Amino acid sequence: MPTLTADRVEAVLRRGGSARVDDHVAPRFREGQRVLARNIHPRGHTRIPRYVRGHHGVIHRDHGVFVFPDSHAGSGDPRPQHVYSVRFEAAELWGPDAGGRDAVYVDLWDDYLEAAP
């Protein structure tokens, strides 16, 4: 097992721990496309917040390809895929009491999303 010695600490901290990877994976969605956050309840680790599940949003931006946390936390399988900033209207998430001009942007992986009409 490699040991983190004092002389390596600064370099390791500066490098950080990005989950971005160089794999070439085709995006399943494009910017501006309407999507549905899947209504899933995995027993293991997941990064999809409960409050977006089952709700519609729009792909705002494609961040690129990242390790998929759900499989990576389980078996260690990186299953690289695109992550998008998805815009949800506040009223879509919180109902009619939400501010009419408010929106929430959530970073979501390809496997959390389905195409929506």
* 40 backbone dihedrals φ, ψ, rounded to 5°: -120, 150
The verdict on 17 binding another protein (CB under 8 A) reads yes
Q: Which of 76, 96, 100, 117 binds another protein (CB under 8 A)?
A: 76
Nearer to another protein, 35 or 106 (CB): 106
Helix (H) or strand (E) run with residue 21 in it: none
Task: Give the position of tokens 């260690």.
Answer: 76
- In the chain, where does DSSP find H-type helix? 6-15, 69-74, 90-94
The verdict on 39 binding another protein (CB under 8 A) reads no
Q: Least distance from C-beta 55 to another protein, angstroms?
A: 12
C-alpha distance from residue 75 to each of 17, 31, 50, 69 (Å) = 19, 31, 23, 10
The verdict on 99 binding another protein (CB under 8 A) reads no
The verdict on 69 binding another protein (CB under 8 A) reads yes
Question: Which residues of this protein are in contact with another protein, per CB under 8 A?
Answer: 1-4, 8-9, 12-13, 17, 19, 41-46, 49-51, 67, 69-70, 72-73, 76, 93-94
